[in-house]
């Protein structure tokens, strides 16, 4: 029994060792290892160039600080170089960053996004660019990269080339014999992992320093979200308008035609059985009722007059249909966008519906004013109060959401006993 | 009487043509948009035009625009505007030039065949026909001096705006002829319209009511 168990244990160890060995050998020709290696080697080449340029510039600065000697022309040259250096440096940073991004993309398949560019005209843009964290972080990367790139690149190269170096120059190292062979083999087996580690470290540094900062990423994300949200709101409005038009051109006309024909039939009825007369009369009345119902529905989708003539014309329509006297005051010199007008319109419409249903009010007042880039709609009634936008079935809640979707706000002030004031503030360019 | 119809729905154009023909009108042309309407009016010189508000190409207020052109160019042609929705602003436009021989009705009203034909004849005869919904909108909107009118006086003024005569108003409200005259006298007083030789007070009162 125990021997059997020991055998299983040994098999297990052996198979694990085999698997590990297989993995180590497999890593030697895995694409990922070679990509990482290529990355380290290209990095090495780029960083040699960068390091040389950096040293030249540092040399210039050091010489300037030390004193360039008695030659006036020489001194002027050093001063000019030191003073104008930030201009080409900024440009050079851009070039280096672009090269690095291409390297990350083509070799590792890693996308390092570009941070947003400083805005403005040329001389100011330069000042502004140096004022951004992005420029200094890029500078940081390109100062750090020569060190890490050179060290990493050399390390990777040493690991891969160890067996060949040992085979070619067996006497070059202080160790010899089997230990040397083990060392060379160990370095070779470690090479894929070293290359991957170096690539990974470089990637982390590049993401942190070459890409946009978390704040910039957040700002970009907010921009994208705001844009896509505005597009969704506009698309939903356009869809409502389309459905309104389809119903107007289709079902509504057909129903008017049906009602007209039934009306003519009813008027022309001569001596027909009572049952037939009753059926035609009922059909006629049903058609008229359906027409009125459909009209209300379609108007609830999107009032056509709102598009044609704006809030004033559209609101006077619903005010007229209100069950209680409503005073309407509109001061909107320039029209707002269609989405904003629709939200303002439906706010008033919903508020009047609520007033009719719940408020027990005797009169209401609506004010719509545009002050600069804000449209303000206030609906007040003298009813019993207690309205809230929180209820699930409340149309006010939907309107609050619609207002919020365009960066507007809906507020309800409705103490028990009244009066109720509903205010919507909407942005409009 | 010769009539030109402008309506973009084929179905309804045919229905209106049939209705008007059976109602004793002569339909000279039935066209689908405003431009063709103006051409047809120039050609046939009809006594009456029945026009839909929303037509191609923009599907907004072509009918109102065409009606305004007809009012200016052919003042002898009566115009009845039909619309899926009645809007106070369309009505105000329509009534801005003159208030006679003009009508504005909800499209649904065509289903009440005899009432509709009756309205057509009133407009053709130089009367004013406004949909009760338009009148309600106009009443709700214009407040100041009209606020002083009692509900009964407002009702009388509304019927005046719809183009009814004193007899028509008396019938509609089921009151005596002299009562109607008394209400109208009150309306003139409250709207500050003293009797003069040069002004038609009834028209001025309706205009005040319509806010023009």
Burial B169-188 (b: 16+ CB within 10 A, else e): bbeebeeeeeebeebbebbb
Contact call for residues A324 and A356 (beta carbons, < 8 A)? yes
Is A392 near chain B, with CB under 8 Å? no
Map out the domains of chain B with their CATH numbers.
2-131 (3.40.50.2300), 142-210 (1.10.10.10)
Residue B212: its pLDDT value, please? 47
Concatenated DSSP letters for A79-120?
HHHHHHTHHHHHHHHHHHHHHHHHHIIIII----PPPPPPPS
In three-state secondary structure terms, A419 is: coil
Is B11 near chain A, with CB under 8 Å? yes
The pairing of beta strand A420-427 with beta strand A374-381: antiparallel
* More confident site: B72 or B191: B72
Q: Please state, rounded to an integer, the average pLDDT across all residues of chain B.
A: 88
pLDDT band at A257 (very low <50, low <70, confident <90, very high): very high
Nearest chain A Cα distance for residue B38, angstroms = 22
Nearest to A264 among B12, B113, B137 (CB): B113
Picking from B131, B113, B83, B117, the residue whose alpha carbon sits closest to that of residue A281 is: B113
Nearest chain B Cα distance for residue A368, angstroms = 15
* More confident site: A157 or B51: B51
Q: Please state, rounded to an integer, the average pLDDT across all residues of chain A.
A: 83
pLDDT band at B8 (very low <50, low <70, confident <90, very high): very high
- Is the pLDDT at A3 greater than 50, yes or no? no
Q: To probe the interface with A, which of B54, B58, B87 has the most A CB atoms within 10 Å?
A: B87
Residue A2: its pLDDT value, please? 45
Nearest chain A Cα distance for residue B97, angstroms = 19
* More confident site: A320 or A41: A41
pLDDT > 70 in chain A, percent: 88
The one-character DSSP state at A249 is I
pLDDT > 90 in chain A, percent: 21
Residue A57: its pLDDT value, please? 73
The partner residues of A427 in beta bridges, in order of sequence, read A374
CATH architecture, domain A306-427: 2-Layer Sandwich (3.30)
d(CA A38, CA A108): 9
Picking from B50, B55, B47, B40, the residue whose alpha carbon sits closest to that of residue B16 is: B50
Contact A295 B85 (CB under 8 A): yes
- Is the pLDDT at B167 greater than 80, yes or no? yes
Picking from B88, B95, B99, B82, the residue whose alpha carbon sits closest to that of residue B5 is: B82
pLDDT in tens, A265-279: 999 888 889 999 999
Q: Considering only CB atoms, which chain B residues are within 8 Å of A249?
A: 8-9
Residue B30: its pLDDT value, please? 96
Q: To probe the interface with B, which of A244, A253, A348 has the most B CB atoms within 10 Å?
A: A253
Where do the structural domains in chain A lie, given as residue ranges?
Answer: 12-212, 237-300, 306-427
- Is the pLDDT at A114 greater than 60, yes or no? yes
The A residues from 209 to 248 touching B (CB cutoff 8 Å) are 245, 248
Residue B141: its pLDDT value, please? 57
- Is the pLDDT at A10 greater than 80, yes or no? no
Residue B120: its pLDDT value, please? 95
Of A313-327, B79-93, B176-190, the range with the lowest mean pLDDT is A313-327
d(CA B91, CA B180): 26
Residue B211: its pLDDT value, please? 67
pLDDT in tens, A369-380: 998 899 999 999
- Is the pLDDT at B52 greater than 90, yes or no? yes
Is B111 near chain A, with CB under 8 Å? yes
> In this structure, how many other beta carbons lie within 10 angstroms of the beta carbon of residue B36?
17
């Amino acid at each position: 029994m125990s021997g059997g168990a020991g055998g299983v244990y040994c098999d297990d160890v052996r198979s694990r060792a085999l698997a590990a060995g297989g993995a180590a050998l497999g890593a030697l020709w895995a694409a990922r290892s070679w990509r990482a290696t290529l990355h380290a080697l290209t990095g090495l080449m780029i960083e040699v160039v960068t390091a040389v340029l950096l040293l030249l510039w540092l040399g210039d600065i050091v010489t300037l600080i030390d004193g360039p000697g008695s030659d006036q022309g020489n001194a002027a040259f050093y001063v000019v170089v030191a003073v104008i250096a930030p201009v080409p440096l900024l440009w050079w940073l851009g070039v280096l960053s672009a090269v690095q991004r291409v390297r990350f993309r083509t070799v590792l398949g890693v996308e390092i996004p570009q941070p947003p560019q400083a805005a403005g005209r040329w001389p100011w843009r330069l000042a502004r660019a140096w004022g951004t964290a992005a420029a200094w972080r890029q500078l940081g990367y390109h100062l750090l990269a020569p060190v890490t790139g050179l060290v990493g690149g050399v390390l990777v190269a040493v690991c891969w080339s160890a067996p060949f170096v040992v085979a070619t120059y067996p006497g070059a190292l202080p160790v010899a014999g089997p230990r040397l062979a083990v060392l060379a083999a160990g370095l070779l087996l470690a090479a894929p992992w070293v290359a991957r580690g170096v690539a990974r470290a470089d990637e982390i540094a590049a993401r942190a320093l070459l890409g946009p900062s978390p704040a910039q990423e957040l700002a970009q994300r907010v921009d994208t979200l705001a844009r896509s949200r505005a597009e969704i709101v506009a698309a939903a409005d356009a869809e409502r308008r389309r459905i309104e038009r389809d119903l107007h051109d289709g079902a509504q006309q057909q129903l008017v035609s049906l009602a007209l024909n039934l009306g003519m039939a009813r008027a022309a009825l001569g001596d027909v059985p009572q049952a037939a007369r009753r059926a035609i009369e009922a059909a006629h009345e049903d058609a008229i009722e359906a027409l009125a119902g459909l009209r209300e529905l379609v108007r609830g989708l999107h009032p056509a007059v709102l598009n044609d003539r704006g809030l004033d014309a559209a609101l006077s329509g619903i005010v007229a249909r209100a069950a209680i006297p409503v005073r309407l005051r509109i001061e909107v010199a320039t029209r707002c966008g269609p989405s904003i007008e629709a939200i303002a319109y439906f706010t008033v419409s919903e508020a009047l519906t609520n007033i009719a249903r719940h408020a027990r009010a005797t009169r209401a007042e609506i004010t719509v004013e545009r002050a600069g880039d804000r449209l303000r709609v206030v609906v007040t009634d003298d009813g019993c109060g207690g309205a809230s936008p929180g209820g699930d079935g409340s149309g006010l809640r939907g309107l609050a959401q619609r207002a919020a979707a365009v960066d507007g706000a809906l507020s309800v002030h409705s103490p028990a006993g009244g009066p109720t004031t509903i205010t919507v503030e909407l942005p409009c360019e | 009487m010769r009539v030109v119809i402008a309506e973009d729905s084929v179905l309804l154009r045919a229905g209106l043509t049939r209705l008007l023909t059976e109602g004793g009108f002569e339909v000279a042309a039935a066209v689908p948009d405003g431009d063709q309407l103006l051409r047809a009016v120039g050609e046939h010189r009809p006594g009456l035009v029945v026009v839909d508000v929303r037509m191609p190409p923009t599907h907004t207020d072509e009918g109102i625009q065409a009606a305004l052109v007809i009012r200016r160019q052919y003042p002898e042609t009566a115009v009845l505007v039909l619309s899926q929705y009645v809007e106070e602003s369309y009505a105000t436009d329509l009534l801005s030039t003159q208030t006679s021989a003009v009508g504005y009705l909800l499209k649904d009203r065509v289903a009440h065949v005899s009432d509709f034909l009756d309205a057509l004849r009133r407009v053709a005869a130089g009367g004013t026909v406004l949909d009760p919904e338009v009148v309600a909108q106009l009443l709700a909107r214009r407040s100041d001096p009209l606020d002083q009118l009692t509900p009964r006086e407002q009702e009388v003024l509304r019927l005046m705006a719809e183009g009814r005569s004193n007899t028509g108003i008396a019938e509609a409200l089921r009151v005596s002829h002299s009562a109607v005259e008394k209400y109208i006298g009150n309306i003139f007083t409250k709207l500050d319209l003293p009797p003069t030789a040069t002004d038609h007070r009834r028209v001025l009162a309706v205009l005040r009511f319509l806010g023009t």
